[in-house]
Structure 1
Amino acid sequence: MSKIIIENNTVYDIPIINIYQENAFNAPLVFFIHGYGGDREQALDYGYMLAKKGLYYVSMDCKGHGERKVINEANRFYNVFPSDSGLDTYVHMHEVIEQSAIDIQRLVDYFNSKEEINPHRIGISGYSMGGYASFYIAATNPDIKAAASIAGKPAFTKAWQDSITSTATYEQWSKPLRDVTKEIEKRTEYFRMIDPFDKLSSFSPRPLLIINGDQDTDSNYIYSLELYTKLLPFYEDHPAKLQLRMPFAGHQFTYGMKRGACNWFEKYLV
């Protein structure tokens, strides 16, 4: 096996980390999106595993994270919910997801001209927020040829509405939520606009791996199960290219999950 190179770089204004085999040429490219509050170094071991198999790994600092963290960041929505409810953070996370898709396209355009990369073999992967983003990017970017989402939710609108409904059952939050009904409607419309759930039907027959721990209380597996059920007819002629795995795990990116995602990309991109 060739020497593994790990390097930091900045493409346009996006800090990235690359992991690849020395003298890489025409290698499949896998982008990784980190979780909310993380940074581009979150899954270095995963990147190393992919590089060992001959893939070129790129992870970036998402909007407002890592070296892109700024004070008084400009966002689409201002805070309107009780701070301890977590709802404003949840909305902001989706703004980061939306920007991540834009950033990935910029990086795709950049790497398309590099001889180290095969521009026709590009995959997307991510954990937690990155799992959400992987669904969104797979649904909206035709350059993506394979995807592996870990601990994400593919149903943005339904998950948001469920969060509002469940939060309103708490006595200390029920009245504050009633007072911002119009703001909830604005954010609900935003979630509908970026929701990948229905759009993911068009991803078929490209390979889609969904990994969701069956003990995950942050990203309940029910949303992944509903997507899997919806997509089954679209993969009827290629059943092996759609897989849902629900290991006995919580909200985490375990070694077994990393190995499974790595093998997925080796199978369908290399």
Structure 2
Amino acid sequence: MSLQSSRKSLAGAPALAVHRGSREDALRRGAVLFFHGLGGSKEVNERELGVFADRGLFAVGIDVVGHGERCYLDFGARFTHDNPRVKEEFLQVVQATANEVPAVLDALVALGAHPERLGISGASLGGFISYRALLVDRRLRVAAPLIASPEWALPLPESPHRHLERFFPVALFSQTAGLDEVVHPSLARTFHARLEPLYAQAPERLRYREFPLSGHMMRPADWDEAIRDAADWVVRFLDVEQAPP
């Protein structure tokens, strides 16, 4: 049974949905949001969406605020290292996109998504959004952020690392790159170490992994493994039944 894809708007957010079999069955099995990196779009990760969809999920790529179909007209000026406010611009995008997640989930549930089988993932910028979204909407049961950090570069009260008590019982699997020159892996590593006591009653719901030989642009084999394992993690903790081949 081949993968099917469609473009739609979910609560005003441009989205690309990928699933195997009927839309209704995939939504019932479980839905996962996937957010792309800085400068990307929902189409950039269509292959990754397919990996999640192959596990039976209704996989949805979203254009981050200021990207893709709603790209800022001055995107290049906002996100250049010459802009002294580039960190603020980045975190504004993180917060604005995460704040849309409740309405996006509402739209998915209205389409038929199982309200207790909702997950999130994303890479780089998308991983930052994933961490923040867990604090914005408690319906998210599982998260698999990649090459991202729960600790922000600016001392803002919204930074996820300041709210450890709000993560359990979310099944959280963070994957980083040991040679990452953009997002240092120690930030997620330290965060997970601080979370461990809060997950003592269900330690299997917390996992951290680092790929020691990859930088921010991960080696292809490492990236493929990370995406496969992220998809398996989401399926495991949403208790998703497998779609027919």
Residue by residue over 1:156-215, the C-alpha shift from the partner in whole angstroms, topping out at 9 and shown as x without a partner, is 1xx33xxxxxxxxxxxxxxxxxxxxxxxxxxx4xxx232111224322122000101111
* Partner-residue secondary structure (3-state), 2:127: helix
Tell me by how many angstroms 1:118 deviates: 1.0
CA–CA distance in 2 between the matches of 1:43 and 1:62?
12
Residue by residue over 1:53-106, the C-alpha shift from the partner in whole angstroms, topping out at 9 and shown as x without a partner, is 101101111111111013258xxxx97xxx645542222111111111122211
Which residue of structure 1 aligns with residue 236 of structure 2?
267
Map 1:244-259 to 2 at 5 A. Answer: 244-248=208-212, 249-252=214-217, 254-259=223-228
* Partner-residue secondary structure (3-state), 1:20: strand
Map 1:156-167 to 2 at 5 A. Answer: 156=152, 159-160=153-154
Q: TM-score when scaled to structure 1?
A: 0.80
Within the candidate set 27, 38, 45, 2:29 is matched to 27
Q: Contact between 2:37 and 2:126, CA under 8 Å: does it hold in 1?
A: yes
Larger Rg: 1
Amino acid at match of 1:88: R
Q: Percent identity?
A: 24
- Gaps spanning 5+ residues in structure 2: where? 241-245
Q: Contact between 1:139 and 1:200, CA under 8 Å: does it hold in 2?
A: no
Residue by residue over 1:200-231, the C-alpha shift from the partner in whole angstroms, topping out at 9 and shown as x without a partner, is 43221220001011111111011111101110
Q: Contact between 2:119 and 2:142, CA under 8 Å: does it hold in 1?
A: yes
Number of paired residues?
230
Within the candidate set 82, 86, 97, 1:89 is matched to 86
Tell me by how many angstroms 1:112 deviates: 1.1
Map 1:85-164 to 2 at 5 A. Answer: 85=82, 87-115=84-112, 117-156=113-152, 159-160=153-154
- Gaps spanning 5+ residues in structure 1: where? 161-187
Which residue of structure 2 aligns with residue 173 of structure 1?
none
CA–CA distance in 2 between the matches of 1:256 and 1:200?
28
Which residue of structure 2 aligns with residue 185 of structure 1?
none
CA–CA distance in 2 between the matches of 1:12 and 1:232?
35
Which residue of structure 2 aligns with residue 218 of structure 1?
182
CA–CA distance in 2 between the matches of 1:148 and 1:54?
17
Aligned-residue CA RMSD in angstroms? 2.0
